[in-house]
Structure 1
Amino acid sequence: MAGVSNGQETEKFYLQKEQLTVDSDDEYEYEEVPVDEDFITADLDEDLDLAVRTIREAEEEKDATVKKGELPKPSVTRRAEVVDDYVRNFLVRMGMNRTLDTFQTEWYELQQRGSLHAEDIGVVPDMYGRNQELDNEVKFLKREVEKYRDAAMNAKETYVKIRKERDYHRMHHKRVVQEKNKLINDIKRLKRHYQQYEPTLQQLKKKYEVAMKEKMLSKLEKDRAVGQVSGLQNTLKSMESFKGGSAKLSQGPTTSTRRGVYQTDSEGRGPTQRTLAMEREMCDVGNEPGDFKRYPNDTEFPVDTGINPQLANVKRTSSHLSRTGGFRLSNTFQAHSHPVSCVKLHPRKPILATTSDDHHWKMWSVPSGEIIMTGEGHTDWVSGCDFHPSGSKLATSSGDTTVKVWDFSKAECVHTFTDHTHAVWGSTWHTCGDFLASCSMDMTAKVWDLNSLRCRYTLRGHTDSVNSIEFLPYSNTLLTCSADKTISLWDARTGLCAQTFYGHMHSVNFSTFNLRGDTVGSCDSYGVVKLWDVRANAPMISLDVGPHPSNRLAFDPTGTVVAVASNDSTVKMYEVASGKVSSLVGHEDAVQCLAFDQNGEYLISGGSDCTVRIWS
């Protein structure tokens, strides 16, 4: 083709026809695929919205199935097995290896010769495959039947065994029920039998108590008669030693009196009263101030000598007393029906007095634990008791605000002091036996005169309940402790506070002297125990055995061991010299009270478990 000329030389182009050849190894002729007109028509007629909706529904169903945990099951197309493969598998399964070799040889020879037609080498008919499947299922079911048969036989054997055991236990149960019914009938019969003897037992018990009381009274009467004889003999000797008008004077108390044996003369006066009367006649000077208003029958306080005759006996027996771990439980007896609040030992005889919240006090023989006497009269719990120095009387204090004095010779209460306005916690006798002191929840302590039967002094000074009170032996000094956390020493002759100990941080439950009177022991509601030097007015030792409250403490006769009654059901034994602490375990509830005997050979404790225990 030639371009247009514009006065310049133009370029020329030529067209040439060329034929392209396709390089191919094999001259393959592509076959044209015919188009399905029906499909095209259906596809053209299909609504697009319907297709989209169908796809969305299918996706939603798939998502719902996945959420439910059910995955769609894949579709599996099962191909029919070829005839020769079927035969081979059959021969292999049956273990016919030689037949399999022969079959394969002949099969391939016929196939090479072309003797096998298309219908001969087709697939196995479905009937054969189905028969094989059924055969396999039948075999599987037979195995299952055998397994279940074995399980059923085992279950049958177990059932038979359990039924035999059931029959055995049923028979045993019937036998036990029969024995139980028989025992119940026997118990009922024995109860009826016992009820017939109950009145007799009660009568015998009362007779026994009466006999023991009479025996005790006889002993007391005998001791009193012996004392009167001794007193008359001493009086006769004294009268013979004087001349004329000096027959009324006396040279002082006898040795037996200084040792604690109390005799009364024909006028009923004790040795202390006789001594004081003779001193007044000799000196015409009394112990009371000159302007003191006297009441009829008032008793004069004895002079403090500072001599305790019991110390001589302690020195002789001190070698075996300084021990804390040597005490062992030797006897236990049920003393009351309610907690035991106090235990006191008779000054001369192996007799124990106990008080309790059951409104009673009792006397026991120790260490056997045989009951001697029972006292009834208080209308509320009995908090404490104390023997008269002569052993013929007993003072008891109670929550009914009274203090009662019991005379064993008369077997009755001879007097009741009622001046306290609240519960009385304890009482203590003066060594002369003519004065009794008591402490109360009304924040006071009182000194009573047994001859004039009146309150001589009311000790005021504590600001809370006075929890314990004690006379120093052979002295006019009183020791009190209070819930106001203090301990005080009082002069009973004047009713004035002489000394106060400060140091406890909690309510002081109890305080007591050692036998020498130079040390005071106290314990409080948090388990703190303190030992105080009376002369220095200062604490010597502070011991914490808490956190349980300490209810009471007691010195042994040597003063080297302190026993503490604790609320944790134990008795703490503290050795002063070494500081060693041990525990006596035996009570089942709080230990409320304790006491050493005069020789320190055994310790007696009483507790909230209603028992009294003797440790020796």
Structure 2
Amino acid sequence: MTSEAEDGPFFLEKVSVLGDSDDEYQYEEVPVDDLSVGSTDHLDGFDKTILSIEESKQDEKAAIRVEGPPVASLIHRPEVIDDFVRNFLLRMGMKRTLQSFQTEWYEMQQKGLLGNEDIGVVPDAYCRNQTLGDEVKRLKSELQKYMTAASKAKDTHVKLQKERDFHRINHKRAVQEKNRLITDIKRLKKHYNSYEPTLRELKHKYELAMKEKMLTKLERDRAVGQVTGLQATLRNLETGKEVMLPPVSGYRAQRSANRGGPTQSALREARGSVENKREQPKTSNTQDSEFPTDSRVNPYLTHAKGPPTHLTRTGGFRQTGSIRGHDLAISSVSLHPRKQIAVTTSDDHQWKMWAVPSGDIIMTGEGHTDWISDSDFHPSGAQLATSSGDACVKVWDFSKASCVLTLPDHTHAVWGVSWHSCGDFLASCSMDNTSKIWDVHSERCRSTLRGHADSVNSIQFLHFANTLLTASADKTLSLWDARTGLCAQTFYGHLHSVNNAVFNLKGDTIGSCDSYGTVKFWDVRHVAPMITVDVGPHPANRVAFDPSGHLLAVASNDGTIKMVEVGTSDVTMLAGHDDAVQAVTFDIGGQFMLSGGSDGSMRVWS
């Protein structure tokens, strides 16, 4: 303020403002005549100039449409000193300094204290330094980005190198294995090729032996024919009394039309008798048991004329007890034929005997080296048979509290066992596609039942009969004659692997289930399907008929038990297990039902 009082007032810029002038001049509108487009001769110089400007504008617009929009150009103006300082202060954020600078700068400029060199253009050195400083900052920022990217690329490169080395080692190992296998294959081919001459020689010897056998048979037939002819001739020459020569073994004397020699039927009969004598074993195993006749009467034929009312009512079953006895899944539950005792088998390689329904444990059996799949009580109740994944069948004697018999002839896991009603024979089925019938007295396999094309999943003897029922993963059920080991009948109808099949107590109906939850009932006498019930989509693991035969319990993989009424196909669901239900069975008196599941528990239903 002091400087202003001394030097007098000053102005940033002096401007003179003039008022509006109104000379009241009258403007006259000049009319524009219509001119022809093609002629320009009548136009004066000014009009020609306007027309040429318009034509040039039109040409520029056409060129812009052809060439595209114009590119914006940037005109760089040199920076003056005050703008340079002002930009510097703004960039540094020094706003108060900026205000002081502007006040003093404009004050000095108005007073004329600044020369042209002070307010002129900034020297090129400063501008260049500023430009180079900005460029350095930008380059440093880019350098940092590139260094980060290079570090990542280096890590990726190291990782890829390690992977390459790993795959290279594996490739070398695979090549070595391939070369070794190729060498082994060549060696085996060479070894097998050495057998071809021996095979050809054996085949030639076999053909010669067959030829000699055929010639021997022809010679034998001719000799037998001659002997028979001589016998007939001697009988014809007999006079007075008839002389009977001892006949040749296996042939009948021809007394009628064919007196000159034996017939073809007589030759076949003689040949069959000779072969039968040759094939008959000289000694027999005196310890083998004899199958009982099928003339015995099933005492269950008159058992339970109708369905019990407490079984057919909705909600008729309820859980009354639970026994937690195994750490792993329970695979089967078997009931004693005369006492309220149950045996459970489990994947923990043990079987346990329980008092039902109290749940008191009576006995524990250990001896299998793998999971135990099934068990069955001896008809007398004094023994127990178990099957296991170790391909063995074991027989346990309760009085001796130990295993008394091990049957190891199966080549794969054994799925099920069943006692014959006489107690002398035991049947087993296996994953090796076969079933076997064992004689417990001679401790040997009496016969092997072959016919299924896949694993045989369950097996059961018909009550008081020599008939066996098997269910297989080849989607079929088969009935077998245990005495001959021949398949008597095969049931077709399931579309998936059959997990289990059982007879009812009367033996006239079969219930079966498959891996898609389909349950079928079969008429044994008519060999035909009766009813099909779908309780899926979860697999059905096992089925059991109630004593009356009017109700079928289905152990399902969804943790429930499906109760199917045979007459109406009505389905009732019982829930209680925490995991899949693997086994289900009824008390012979129809008082309660037992079930076992993958949760390691046995549930009591009544």
TM score, norm. by length of structure 1: 0.53
2:424 is the alignment partner of 1:424: no
- Post-superposition offset of 1:535: 1.4
* One-letter amino acid of the counterpart of residue 408, structure 1: F
Instruction: Name which of 363, 385, 395 aligns with 2:385.
Output: 395
Unmatched tracts of structure 1, length 5 or more: 1-29, 34-51, 58-289
Instruction: Name which of 506, 510, 517 aligns with 1:516.
Output: 506
Find the aligned partners of 1:316 and 1:561 in 2 and give their Cα distance. 11
2:447 is the alignment partner of 1:480: no
Contact in 2 for aligned 1:481/1:508 (Cα 8 Å): yes
Summarize the Cα distance change of 1:439–1:32 in structure 2 as closer, same or farther, 3 Å threshold: closer
Aligned counterpart, 1:588: 578
Aligned counterpart, 1:309: 299
Summarize the Cα distance change of 1:376–1:316 in structure 2 as closer, same or farther, 3 Å threshold: same
Find the aligned partners of 2:551 and 2:470 in 1 and give their Cα distance. 22
Find the aligned partners of 2:292 and 2:303 in 1 and give their Cα distance. 24
Find the aligned partners of 1:608 and 1:523 in 2 and give their Cα distance. 19
Deviations 1:335-378 (A, max 9, x none): 20100000000000000000000000000000111100000000
Instruction: Name which of 374, 390, 404 aligns with 1:414.
Output: 404
Find the aligned partners of 1:610 and 1:299 in 2 and give their Cα distance. 39
2:526 is the alignment partner of 1:530: no
Summarize the Cα distance change of 1:445–1:358 in structure 2 as closer, same or farther, 3 Å threshold: same
Contact in 2 for aligned 1:322/1:558 (Cα 8 Å): no
Instruction: Name which of 344, 367, 370 aligns with 1:354.
Output: 344
Summarize the Cα distance change of 1:434–1:31 in structure 2 as closer, same or farther, 3 Å threshold: closer
- Post-superposition offset of 1:397: 0.3
Deviations 1:120-152 (A, max 9, x none): xxxxxxxxxxxxxxxxxxxxxxxxxxxxxxxxx
1:234-383 mapped onto 2 (5 Å cutoff) = 294-315=284-305, 318=308, 320-323=310-313, 325-383=315-373
CA-based RMSD: 2.6
2:390 is the alignment partner of 1:385: no
Deviations 1:555-587 (A, max 9, x none): 111111111000010000011122211100011
Contact in 1 for aligned 2:342/2:356 (Cα 8 Å): yes
- Post-superposition offset of 1:313: 4.3
Unmatched tracts of structure 2, length 5 or more: 1-20, 25-72, 79-278
* One-letter amino acid of the counterpart of residue 363, structure 1: M
- Post-superposition offset of 1:537: 1.3
* One-letter amino acid of the counterpart of residue 381, structure 2: G
Contact in 1 for aligned 2:542/2:555 (Cα 8 Å): yes
* One-letter amino acid of the counterpart of residue 430, structure 1: H
* One-letter amino acid of the counterpart of residue 297, structure 1: Q
**Secondary structure of 1:540's partner?**
strand
Summarize the Cα distance change of 1:452–1:576 in structure 2 as closer, same or farther, 3 Å threshold: same
- Post-superposition offset of 1:315: 3.5
**Secondary structure of 1:577's partner?**
coil
Find the aligned partners of 2:286 and 2:301 in 1 and give their Cα distance. 36
Larger Rg computed on CA atoms:
1
- Post-superposition offset of 1:295: 1.1
Find the aligned partners of 1:595 and 1:303 in 2 and give their Cα distance. 29
Find the aligned partners of 1:440 and 1:580 in 2 and give their Cα distance. 33
* One-letter amino acid of the counterpart of residue 464, structure 2: Y
1:33-432 mapped onto 2 (5 Å cutoff) = 294-315=284-305, 318=308, 320-323=310-313, 325-432=315-422
Find the aligned partners of 2:415 and 2:306 in 1 and give their Cα distance. 35
Contact in 2 for aligned 1:323/1:561 (Cα 8 Å): no
2:433 is the alignment partner of 1:439: no
Deviations 1:202-245 (A, max 9, x none): xxxxxxxxxxxxxxxxxxxxxxxxxxxxxxxxxxxxxxxxxxxx
Summarize the Cα distance change of 1:555–1:378 in structure 2 as closer, same or farther, 3 Å threshold: same
Aligned counterpart, 1:606: 596
Find the aligned partners of 2:498 and 2:393 in 1 and give their Cα distance. 22
Aligned counterpart, 1:466: 456
Contact in 1 for aligned 2:321/2:357 (Cα 8 Å): yes
Deviations 1:164-219 (A, max 9, x none): xxxxxxxxxxxxxxxxxxxxxxxxxxxxxxxxxxxxxxxxxxxxxxxxxxxxxxxx
Contact in 1 for aligned 2:387/2:416 (Cα 8 Å): yes
Identity %: 65
Summarize the Cα distance change of 1:291–1:519 in structure 2 as closer, same or farther, 3 Å threshold: farther
Aligned counterpart, 1:554: 544
- Post-superposition offset of 1:472: 0.4
Aligned length: 339
